[in-house]
Structure 1
Amino acid sequence: MERETRAHTAHDGIKPSEIAVGVIIGRASEYFDYFVYGIASVLVFPEIFFPFELRLEGTLWSFAIFALAFITRPLGTVLFMAIQRRWGRGVKLTAALFLLGFSTAGIAFLPGYEHIGPWAIALLSILRCFQGVALGGSWDGLPSLLALNAPEKRRGWYAMVPQMGAPIGFIIAAALFLFLHSNLESADFMDWGWRYPFYVAFAINVVALFARLRLVVTNEYDVLLEQNQLEPVPVKELIANRGSNVLIGAFAALASYALFHLVTLFPLSWITLHATQPINDVLRIELIGGVLGIVGTLASGWIADRFGRRSTLGALAILIAVYSGFAPTLLNAGGLGENLFILIGFALLGLSYGQAAGATSANFGPRFRYTGAALTSDLGWLIGAAFAPLVALGLSAHFGLAYLSIYLLSGAACTLAALGLHKSQIKD
């Protein structure tokens, strides 16, 4: 069946490279939105929306609102798949990305707490929830289509391609904040400078929308998606037939998801809180880390094709567990140790996250793959990443950095348990 699909694809002149470009553009735009919000949660929101709190408590409240998008994301997936079944993929994607752009740009226009009081926090929370709904609705099936067209011995490489959007989106967001923060006076940055990345996010979403619509609403791609059965199915049917796969898939990638925000947002919040390094220096190190993340993601494709995706996930979970043991030592070792924590973490993140989705989404079979891959990702983000910066910062600040180690170690343990208990359902 797979060979027939690939042969038909080749006959129709559909190039995997075109799909790959569309996937990377789409994912990078989504992650840019997320990281713009995440970085602002550390540098801006505690002062703008929670001026009545101390810096730590303000940051924790910001991270609590940050988590709302991960809670509403599965709801967006279900809602917009219903829209797709009724009005088509193009309507669904257009509505989702415009909602994402509206909610992201809307944050840029929000007055602070000093102007409208608690309403500022309420509006920020609502717009953040809309971001999550929109991101759930932006699933277009292109990563699954790319995986289905992967040559048998290059599945790890093709699974890596969609994951490239994360480090690319982070680099763009961090670079923009670094430029603004280093070139503006502090008062100007807090007044209007922080809003600019949210405007840029809307423009990027428009570009990404047309890049993706160019693929998913043309007749030849529409036919190809239908031939590969990449269409939404009712969630009840998915849970009834493949519910265990959704759960296993989410936990199998938990080490990567737990690490995700603990090397991007947590170090920035921790160092900012303790003022051990200038913010601009931390952002520069994180940019270097983002490059390491790209290299690691690329390397994960080669490693997975040589040793198997399941083995790669398991080996990286063990390395993340080892890394978790050294985290408190590194973060307590001054600027050099903090930088090593960030750089090593990004390298491990790239290697593990590069295969976090591919080894599990293949287990659903053609009919359930489209909806199953989306909901598995939603659940993995919710369990592993949604509350990571909030929990890690709160526990570390009040009880010590050992709790950061425990959090990371628990994610690695869940991954190893899922891989070990369900060997037959985690495919290479």
Structure 2
Amino acid sequence: MTSITHPEPHSSTLEHDARVITADHGRVKPAEIAVGVVIGRASEYFDFFVYGIASCLVFPTLFFPFASRLDGTLYAFVVFSFAFIARPVGTAVSMAIQRRWGRGTKLTIALFMLGTSTVGIAFLPGYETAGVLSIVLLSVFRVGQGLALGGSWDGLPSLLALNAPAKKRGWYAMLGQLGAPVGFILASGLFAFLHASVPREDFLSWGWRYAFFVAFAINVVALFARLRLVLTTEFERLLEEGELEPVHVRELIRDKATNLWIGAFVPLASYALFHLITVFPLSWIQLFSEQSITEFLLVQIVGGFLCAAGIIASGKIADRVGRRYTLGSLAVGIAVFSGFAPTLLGGGTLGQDVFLLVGFTLLGLSYGQASGSMNSAFGPRFRYTGAALTSDLAWLLGAAFAPLVALGLSAHFGLAYVSVYLLSGAACTLAALAINRAIARED
């Protein structure tokens, strides 16, 4: 690959100092890039799942006590979706910040905003104290989380993909995805401990807030870990060689709109499944089942480990049979699984546990290659911005409203609508793969 240098003007003092400090860091190895990817994604997903779990267990009672338990949970899921709506905006703004002031400044602002929004939620008063203002502030902080997540893209997954040997691209693509089960396991474990150890009244009053304080602390640690890697001279050289620099979002949409939409729809089966086995089941159990919340969270933790194992296995499978075939086969598997979802969810404790464990396994196998499909959808010039914006759109289309739609439809019309939602995601993935294959043949 031809080396193209794009020096970043107006580089901040922070970045200059960091480069001086880390000038002797030496050549960045793929293993170091992988560690940075996992640390960054795990901290983001921990933040993400702490909010998701609180939306099921805490926010309906704390912020929407005037509504029924079902309606309060639906209102909480509406606010939950705000981050996904704001995320593409955060990406567009952060790309402009990086072009003007540098990558390190952009990442620092994003993670500072994420930490501030997270700890801000921990200090929020409930509706009984502040009235509608509490809901407004919750919404503002949730939008802040979304803007921050859009700005936290550091290009590490794309760099991993570029440095992957020809026969190990699937293996390298899955590494960044491991942050999801790590973050989920930590968040579920913390809430399981708090829910089991603190009386319900205290849990709803102050116990849940500890999870958000922990999320803030993890974000601080992750910030320094990622900056230490991102701001090395060697890392910047690798990014420049790979042409991993931001372009104007307007230019991306104008020249690569087809790639953008196909890239967003390819992983939709995985993204639709994502919230239907993490956030939605917890709300369903809370509202309509007699199963212990603590026990259910522990089963989800086991599912998180199965998901991690599936992600690792997906790297081997994709390298053996190809990423497109892997994603297509798993989409068919998710479609088949959707047919059993109503029976399992309505089948008592055993059925619900089977739904979780099988669902997490399928999620790991499919989600493990989701980022790879996004990175491969663009050429060098557009890969950095394209991969970030494609991911944002995939989350928005596939996952943002999944808990809201699944809970609302299943509560009013039956669990069969969970199957319809999953089936639609699988159909979108298969259609996008078919279109992508047709375009590749034509080219």
Q: State the AA in 2 paired with 1:380.
A: A
Give the match for residue 158 of structure 1. 172
Aligned mates of 1:220, 1:426 — CA distance in 2: 34
What is the SS of the residue equivalent to 1:77? helix
Aligned mates of 1:385, 1:213 — CA distance in 2: 29
Q: State the AA in 1 paired with 2:116.
A: F
Q: 1:322 to 1:214 in 2, by over 3 A?
A: same
1:320 and 1:408 in contact (8 A); partners too: yes
Q: State the AA in 1 paired with 2:395.
A: W
> Are 1:68 and 2:82 an aligned pair?
yes
> Are 1:129 and 2:122 an aligned pair?
no
1:359 and 1:426 in contact (8 A); partners too: no
Aligned mates of 1:195, 1:363 — CA distance in 2: 40
The partner residue of 1:224 within 212, 220, 238 is: 238
What is the SS of the residue equivalent to 1:192? helix
Q: 1:426 to 1:382 in 2, by over 3 A?
A: farther
Give the match for residue 319 of structure 1. 333
Over residues 90-141 of structure 1, what are the superposed CA-to-partner deviations in whole Å (9 max), with x where a residue is unaligned?
Answer: 0000000000000000000000000010000000000000000000000000
2:188 and 2:297 in contact (8 A); partners too: yes
- Provide TM-score, normalisation by structure 2: 0.93
Give the match for residue 10 of structure 2. none
Percent of aligned pairs with the same amino acid = 68
5+ long unaligned stretches in structure 1? 5-11
> Are 1:22 and 2:43 an aligned pair?
no
Give the match for residue 358 of structure 2. 344
Q: How far is the alpha carbon of 1:226 from its aligned partner?
A: 1.2
Q: How far is the alpha carbon of 1:377 from its aligned partner?
A: 0.1
The partner residue of 2:280 within 248, 266, 278 is: 266
Give the match for residue 9 of structure 1. none
What is the SS of the residue equivalent to 2:277? helix
2:3 and 2:242 in contact (8 A); partners too: no
The partner residue of 1:193 within 193, 207, 230 is: 207
Q: Which aligned pairs between 1:27-66 and structure 2 lie closer than 5 A?
A: 27-66=41-80
More moved, 223-232 vs 40-49: 223-232
Aligned mates of 1:426, 1:119 — CA distance in 2: 52
> Are 1:177 and 2:191 an aligned pair?
yes
The partner residue of 1:13 within 18, 27, 30 is: 27
Aligned mates of 2:440, 2:208 — CA distance in 1: 43
Q: How far is the alpha carbon of 1:223 from its aligned partner?
A: 1.5
1:250 and 1:379 in contact (8 A); partners too: yes
> Are 1:234 and 2:248 an aligned pair?
yes
Q: State the AA in 1 paired with 2:221.
A: V
> Are 1:298 and 2:312 an aligned pair?
yes
Aligned mates of 1:353, 1:3 — CA distance in 2: 32
Q: State the AA in 1 paired with 2:417.
A: Y
What is the SS of the residue equivalent to 1:291? helix
Q: State the AA in 2 paired with 1:84.
A: Q
Q: State the AA in 2 paired with 1:173.
A: A
Taking only aligned residues, the RMSD between alpha carbons, in angstroms, comes to: 1.5
- Provide TM-score, normalisation by structure 1: 0.96
What is the SS of the residue equivalent to 1:140? coil
Question: Size of the alignment, in residue pairs?
Answer: 421
Q: State the AA in 2 paired with 1:389.
A: P
Aligned mates of 2:68, 2:377 — CA distance in 1: 47
Aligned mates of 1:3, 1:352 — CA distance in 2: 34
Q: How far is the alpha carbon of 1:426 from its aligned partner?
A: 7.4
The partner residue of 2:344 within 319, 330, 350 is: 330
Q: Which runs of 4+ in 1 moved over 4 A?
A: 424-427
Q: How far is the alpha carbon of 1:421 from its aligned partner?
A: 1.7
Aligned mates of 2:303, 2:80 — CA distance in 1: 22
Q: How far is the alpha carbon of 1:13 from its aligned partner?
A: 3.1
Q: 1:51 to 1:118 in 2, by over 3 A?
A: same
What is the SS of the residue equivalent to 1:422? helix
Q: State the AA in 2 paired with 1:96.
A: A
Aligned mates of 1:214, 1:108 — CA distance in 2: 28
